[in-house]
Structure 1
Amino acid sequence: MVRDADTGSNPTDNPALSDLIATRISRRSLLGGGAAMAAVGLLGVSNATPAGASTGARGTGELIEFTEVPVSSADTLVVPEGYVAQVLIPWGTPLSTSGPAWKKDASNTAEEQAVQIGMHHDGMKYFPLKSGASGSSKGLLVLNHEYVDPIMLTPDGATPMTPEKVAKGLAAHGVTVIEIREKKGVWAPADSEYNRRITGTTPVTFSGPVGPDHPALAANNPPMGTLNNCANGFTPWNTYLTCEENWNGTFGTTSTTWTPSATERRYGITAAGFNYNWHLVDPRFDVAVNPKELNRFGWVVEIDPFDPESTPVKRTALGRIKHESATFTEGSQGRAVIYTGDDENGDYFYKFVGSDSWRQLRQQRKSPLDHGTLYVAKFANDGSGTWVPLVFGQGALTAANGWTDQADVLLRTREAADAVGATKLDRPEWVTVHPETGEVYVTLTNGTQGATTGPDSPNPRPNNIYGHILRISEAGGDNGALTFEWDIAFFAGDPGYLPEGALVPPGQTLFGSPDGLYFDRDGRLWIETDISNSSQNLASRKYDRIGNNALLAADPATGVVRRFLTGPRGSEITGITQTPDSCNLFVNIQHPGETTTAWGTPTPANPRVVSNWPDFDPAGRPRPATVVIRKKDGGKIGT
C-alpha cells in the first residue's frame, strides 16, 4: 500500500543504504564515468540492450520468451499474446454457494462481509490439496486483505462513522482461506470445510517471548484480530504467514491531552491515524483509552489453513514492526530462516534464524518460529554487510541502556534496531530467495534517504522516486550466516528523466516502484509494481511513460526484463503464487478505481470515476480481485 508523502518515523542518524550505494558507484567511476556504465558495473550484467526489451519483440532468452505487453493507461487488464486471464474471486464473493451474494451498491452488512471475500487482496499462497498432477487443479488459496477504502466499502462512505461501518471494515480485513478447483481450464471457488475468514475480530493468541499473559498485551478487550495484512510467507510444515503492516493507521483519538510516547512516535501513532475514524465509535481503537491494544499488532501471524478450528498465532520472536514478507528458507543444520522488511521510509531489513533444526523442534512439539534469534542488517559501502543480533544484554540492548528483557526488545523492535546502528533503507518490502543460488532479493520501493546532491555528490539518486531491487549473497551460501555481500540486481525508473532515472541500463523495460517479488521454480524473477496513485501516468511526477502498474518477468543472469501484465486504472499489482506445475499464475489486483491525481476522485454517489473493473456494471463499483492466468496451450507461465 502506497502512503504519499511518507517521511517515515526514524529520527536516527543511522547510515542510509542510498548513501552506501552512491559511494560504491562513485568508486567504480573508472568503468566509464557515465551513470549507465556505473550501473552496468554494479549490476554485473552486459551493457548490450536485450533484443526487444522495450519494443515488445519476442525475446531470445531461455527463461523469458513471451511477447511483452505495451505500457497501458487503460482501465483494463492486459496479458501477453497466447495467454488468458480469468477473474476468480473479487471482493464480496461468498465463501459458499449458499452464502450472501455480493451487492453492487456495497450494502452488504458486516455480518455478510464476514463470510465473503475481503477487500484489497494482497499476499497469497496456493496450497495443493493432493500430490501429483491433481494438486495443480485442486487446492486452497490463502490470501491477505490489506485495508479498506471507506468510499467503496459502504453506500454512503465514511461519514458518518458508525459501529456497523467499523464492524464491516474489520470483517473486510484479514485473511481468506478458500478451496478452488480447475475444470477444463476454468477455475472456480468450491464449497469446502476449509473455507473460512480470519478477520479483525477473530480470536488470536501470542507465542514466544511476548506471551499471551504479558502485561503489555493487557488491553481492555480480549485478544482478537489481525489487521492490515500485506505481504506473506509460508512454511514447509504447510502453514501460512500473514504480515501486519500499516496497523498504526487504524488507531486514533480525540483526546486533547494525549501525546504519543517515544515508542508510539517511533511506530507512527498519531491522533488522526489514517482517517479511518474507528476510534470515534469504538474505544478499542482509541489510543488514549486503550493504548495496550497497539501492542497486539505489528506481528507475523501463523495460520493453519488445513485446520479450520485452529487459532491464529502471533509469533513474537519475529519482532514487532510493519512487516512486509515473512519469507522462509532453510539455513545450515536445517534451521528456519525468515526474512522480513519494515515498510517505512528509512527503516530496516531483518531476518530470524532458528536455534536448531526446524524438523527437530517440531518433533519436540516446539514451534520453529518461537526459538531463535532476530537480526537486523547493517550494510557497508564496500559491498559487505553484517547481521546484528537484537538480543537483550548484548551490545546496546542492556538494562543500563533502558532495556528490560527480550520481550521488551521485541515489543520495541524498531528502537532496538536504531540502537544497534542498523542501516536505513528506502522502504524495504517483499523478499524472495533464488531457488538455485539461495541469493536473497529485496524490493526497496522508493524513498528519500539520500544525501546532498550535486556533480560531486556520492549519491546519484537522493530522491529515489523509482526504487530498486537489492541482491544479498549470504556467506558460504548459508542463509543463516551472520555476514553477507550485497549489490543491486535491478534499478527501476525512466532514464528519460534525470537525475532520478540515472543508473537504469539502456533499453531496459520501463517500470517503477517495485514491490511484490517472486521466484518461480525455473528462476524467473517476477516483479510487481506499486506506483502511487498520486504519480501514476503523470509527467509532473516523471511517471507518464511508465503507465499503470504492471507485472514484469526478469532474468537475473542476463538482466532481461519484460512486461507481462498491466492492470486497470488506480490499481496495484500484488500477491503472487503458482500451482506446482507452473501452469497457473495467481495475481491480485488491489484497489482498482481508488483516487488518483490523473483520473479523479470517486465518491459514494459515483464510485466509478477512476475505474469500473472488473464488472463494468453501470450501477456497480470497482472490486479488487484475484486473477488466474494460464497459457492457451497449457504450457508453463513465462515461456
Structure 2
Amino acid sequence: MSDLDRDDIPSNSSKAESLNELLGKQQARRGFLKAGAGASTMAFFGLSLNTAAASAQSAAAGSAAPVSAMSFKAVAASTDDKIVVPEGYRYAVINRWGDPLFTDSPKWKGDATDDAAAQARQMGDNHDGMHYFPINGSSTEGLMVTNHEYINPAYFFPANVRVAGENWNEDWVKKSQRAQGVSVKHIRHDGKDWKTVLDSNYNRSINALDAEMVLTGPAAGHALLKTNADPSGTVVFGTFGNCGNGYTLWDTYLTCEENVTDYFGTEKEGVQSSTLMQRYGVATKASNDSYRWETHDKRFDVAEEPNEWMRHGWIVEIDPFDPESKPRKLTALGHFKHENAAMTLAADKRVVVYMGDDQRSEYIYKFVSDDKFDPANKAANRTLLDKGTLYVARFTDGEQAGDLKGKGEWIALTLDTVGLNGKKLGELFTDQGELLVKTRLAADAVGATPMDRPEWIAVHPHTQEVYVTLTNNSDRGSDKERKGTNGLKHPGIDDANPRAKNPYGQIVRWNESGKDAAASEFDWDVFVLAGNPDVHKEPANLMAGTPNISAQNLFNSPDGLAFDKDGRLWIQTDGNFSDAGNFAGNGNNQMLVAIPETEAGKGEIRRFLVGPSGCEITGITWTPDYKAVFVNVQHPGEYGKHPRAPKVTPQEAPMAFSKWPMDDNEDKEGSGGRPRSATVVVWREDGGVVGA
C-alpha cells in the first residue's frame, strides 16, 4: 500500500454505529479501564480467548489438533537495511522489479531509463499479494503469480522526469501502466536456487495497459459500465492498484483491485462530482501526482470517459495455466477498494469469499455462491463466482451483561433487503447490477458497521475462525473532524476499535454460527491489540496493547495475514518504522507468527522476519510441502517524513535510504541505481517445515 494514496482519506458519511462505539460499550460493561489486565479483560482482548472452546469444537468436528509450540527463536527488531531471519534459516532474493520475464527481455537499467516496451517484458514493481501454483503438485516447480500494486515515481523514472511536468510523455505513462497489474512467472528449483524458466509459455504480464479482460456477473453490460470505447460494457483493458490476493479451489488466481480511484481525474474545468464519485473518492481535478495517466490516456480522464473508473475496483480471476484465457472481472463480489479475498466452503459446499474494503470507516463483506463446489468437475466451478449473494457485516454488542463476546449479522445486499429508512434497496437501485456498481452506497443504506481500514482476512484451517487485520487509524476519536472527500466525522471508539487516535492497529476475529461460513450471524472478539508497553506503562492503558505480547516482539499496523496448514497465523506489517517515540523498539516492518490456541491456554506471537529500510512486508505463499515460504518486500527505500530520512530527495539520491537488495544476500548483479521490490524465499537449513 502506498503512503501516497487517497485511501487514508475517509469518504464514508454513514451514521451507523461504528465498531469503536461498540467497543466503548463493552469496555464500560467489563470495567476494562478500571480492571486493567483482569481475567474478563483478557478473555476479550487477548490471544488466550476461547482456547478451550475452540479446541473442543475442533475435536468434535474431527479436525486436526491445535499446533504445537513454535521451535524457532524470535529475531530481534532491526533498523538495518537487510533481511533478518531466525537462526537455522536461510533466504534468497528472487523476482526483482525489472528482472526478465522472457528469454528476449532487455536487461533492467539501474538509472531507470528503461522505456515502456522494456517494462512490458520485465517483472513489475511494488510486489504485493502472490500465490505459488505447483505444477503437478511439485514443491520445486510451479507458477508464481504476483500482484504489482503501484509505482514510486522518484525511483521508477529517471532523474530528469517530473510526473506531468517537464519531459513528461506518453511513454512514461505507458511504462507506469505496464509496471502495474499481475505477473505470471514459471519458476523452478534447480537443487540450489530458484530460477525463472524464461522460455516457458506460462510467463506473461497482465498489466494496466495491454491486458484484455471481460466483465462477468450481474453488472456486466450495465449502462454504468459502458464507455465510448466499449459500448457493450463487457470488455475492459487493464488491471491496476492490485493489492492483496486470493486463490480458488479450482486453481485460479484472484487479484484484488484496491486504490483504483487514484488514477482518475481531469484537467478540464467545471466537471461536476457526483455523490457516487465523492463516496468512492474520485477526483474531478488532476489525478494523484504519482500517475497523471489522464494526460496521455483519455480512459482516465473523467470528463472524457465518466464511466471508466467504475470498470475498475473489482476482484479479477486469472487462470495462470492458460495464457490464452482472458481474466474475468467478477462484479458479483462487489465494487470497492478490495484488499484480499479469502475463500472457504459453507457446510453445503457453496463457495464463500471474505473481503475487506481498505479505507477508513469502510466495511467487511462476504460473498456466498448460488451453486455448490464440485471437486470432480473443475470446469463447472469456473462460474461459481458469477452468481451468488453479497453480504455486508454489522457488528453489535453482546446482549447480556458480562457477555465476553460481541454479536454480528450478515446483511444481504439484494433488492429485497430493507434498509435503515424502511425502504427496500430496490427503491434505491433500479437493478442488482446498479446496486453492485454502487456497493458502498448499498452497504451504507443497510447500516453496515464502519471499520478501521479492513486489510487482509484469513480463515483458520481447523477451527474455521475468521481473522481480519484492522491496520490503524490516527484520526480515530468521537470528537475528531477531518475533511475527507465527504466531510466525514470519524466515529468514536467501539468494541473492535477500542482506542482513539489508534496508531497501532489490531486483529479481530469471528466464529460463524454453527461453524457454517454461509451463516447469517456470528460471534466476534478482539484477537490482539498491537501496542507498546515500553512506552505506555500504565496497567490500564490500552496503548500498551495486549499484555501477553512480549516487549521483544512489538509490532504495529498489522496488514498481510495468512494461515499455514497447521494453523499458525502469519502476520505482516505496513506501519511506522521510525523506531522512535510511540514506536520505539518496533524497528522496520516485519513478519510475525502467532499460535491462536495452545494446550497451555496462552497464545503466542514471535517475530520471524524483519525487512530492509523503508519497506512493507506483504504477500505470502508456500510450497505444497511447506518447506519454503515466499514473502514480498515492497517499496524498499520509501521514507517520506521518516526521522532518519536523508537530507536529499529520492530523485537526487534514490539509494540514500536503502540499497536493497544490492547489498543484501550477497547479490549485487544488476541491482545498482535503485532500491527494488522483490520476492524473498525462506527455508530451514535442516529441510523442515518453516515456522514449526
Q: TM-score, normalised by structure 1?
A: 0.92
What is the Cα deviation at residue 98 of structure 1? 2.8
Q: CA–CA distance in 2 between the matches of 1:37 and 1:592?
A: 42
SS in 1 for 2:171: helix
Identity among equivalent positions (%) equals 44
Residue of structure 1 in register with 2:588 after alignment? 548
2:123 aligned with 1:79:
no
Q: CA–CA distance in 1 between the matches of 2:436 and 2:213?
A: 18
- How does 1:203-282 map onto structure 2 within 5 Å? 203-211=212-220, 213-222=221-230, 223-270=236-283, 271-275=285-289, 276-282=291-297
Residue of structure 2 in register with 1:296 after alignment? 311
Residue of structure 1 in register with 2:546 after alignment? 504
Of 342, 350, 365, the match for 1:335? 350
SS in 2 for 1:166: helix
**Contact 2:579/2:588 (<8 A) preserved:** no
Residue of structure 2 in register with 1:451 after alignment? 478
Residue of structure 1 in register with 2:141 after alignment? 138
What is the Cα deviation at residue 38 of structure 1? 5.8
SS in 2 for 1:359: coil
**Contact 1:461/1:502 (<8 A) preserved:** no
Q: Which is further off, 169-178 or 222-231?
A: 222-231
Give, as a single letter, the amino acid of the residue that structure 2 aligns with 1:273.
S
**Contact 2:315/2:329 (<8 A) preserved:** yes
Q: CA–CA distance in 1 between the matches of 2:154 and 2:441?
A: 35
Q: CA–CA distance in 1 between the matches of 2:116 and 2:363?
A: 36
Residue of structure 2 in register with 1:539 after alignment? 580
2:396 aligned with 1:380:
yes
**Contact 2:127/2:149 (<8 A) preserved:** yes
Which portions of structure 1, spanning 4 or more consecutive aligned residues, are displaced by more than 6 angstroms?
360-363, 456-459
Residue of structure 1 in register with 2:181 after alignment? 174
**Contact 1:31/1:38 (<8 A) preserved:** no
Compared CA separation, residues 137 and 259, structure 1 to 2 (3 A):
same
Q: Which is further off, 291-300 or 605-614?
A: 605-614
Q: CA–CA distance in 1 between the matches of 2:99 and 2:10?
A: 36
Compared CA separation, residues 399 and 162, structure 1 to 2 (3 A):
same
Of 298, 317, 329, the match for 2:332? 317
Q: Which is further off, 24-33 or 78-87?
A: 24-33
Give, as a single letter, the amino acid of the residue that structure 1 aligns with 2:527.
A
2:196 aligned with 1:189:
yes
**Contact 2:45/2:546 (<8 A) preserved:** no
Compared CA separation, residues 362 and 403, structure 1 to 2 (3 A):
farther
What is the Cα deviation at residue 145 of structure 1? 0.3
Of 628, 650, 661, the match for 1:603? 650
What is the Cα deviation at residue 603 of structure 1? 2.7
Give, as a single letter, the amino acid of the residue that structure 2 aligns with 1:181.
R
2:153 aligned with 1:150:
yes
Q: How many pairs align? A: 616
Q: Which is further off, 434-443 or 12-21?
A: 12-21
Residue of structure 2 in register with 1:50 after alignment? none
| CA-to-aligned-CA distance 1:351-394 (integer Å, 9 cap, x gap) | 00011212299665760001110000000011110000000132
Residue of structure 2 in register with 1:57 after alignment? none
Residue of structure 2 in register with 1:51 after alignment? none
2:690 aligned with 1:637:
yes
Q: TM-score, normalised by structure 2?
A: 0.85
- How does 1:613-632 map onto structure 2 within 5 Å? 613-616=660-663, 619-632=672-685
| CA-to-aligned-CA distance 1:162-220 (integer Å, 9 cap, x gap) | 11111001100000101111122421111211011100021111000011x32212223
Compared CA separation, residues 189 and 602, structure 1 to 2 (3 A):
farther
Compared CA separation, residues 457 and 335, structure 1 to 2 (3 A):
closer
Q: CA–CA distance in 2 between the matches of 1:538 and 1:365?
A: 48
Q: CA–CA distance in 2 between the matches of 1:244 and 1:631?
A: 34
What is the Cα deviation at residue 274 of structure 1? 2.3
Q: CA–CA distance in 2 between the matches of 1:100 and 1:305?
A: 23
Give, as a single letter, the amino acid of the residue that structure 2 aligns with 1:464.
N
Q: CA–CA distance in 1 between the matches of 2:679 and 2:296?
A: 32
**Contact 2:127/2:147 (<8 A) preserved:** yes
What is the Cα deviation at residue 37 of structure 1? 5.7
What is the Cα deviation at residue 609 of structure 1? 1.9
Residue of structure 2 in register with 1:394 after alignment? 417
2:373 aligned with 1:371:
no
Give, as a single letter, the amino acid of the residue that structure 2 aligns with 1:393.
D
Give, as a single letter, the amino acid of the residue that structure 1 aligns with 2:384.
P
Residue of structure 2 in register with 1:58 after alignment? none
Q: CA–CA distance in 2 between the matches of 1:266 and 1:259?
A: 14
2:518 aligned with 1:480:
yes
Of 201, 206, 223, the match for 1:198? 206
Compared CA separation, residues 205 and 474, structure 1 to 2 (3 A):
same
SS in 2 for 1:169: helix
**Contact 2:101/2:123 (<8 A) preserved:** yes
| CA-to-aligned-CA distance 1:253-306 (integer Å, 9 cap, x gap) | 112201311000000112243222222232221112211111110100000000
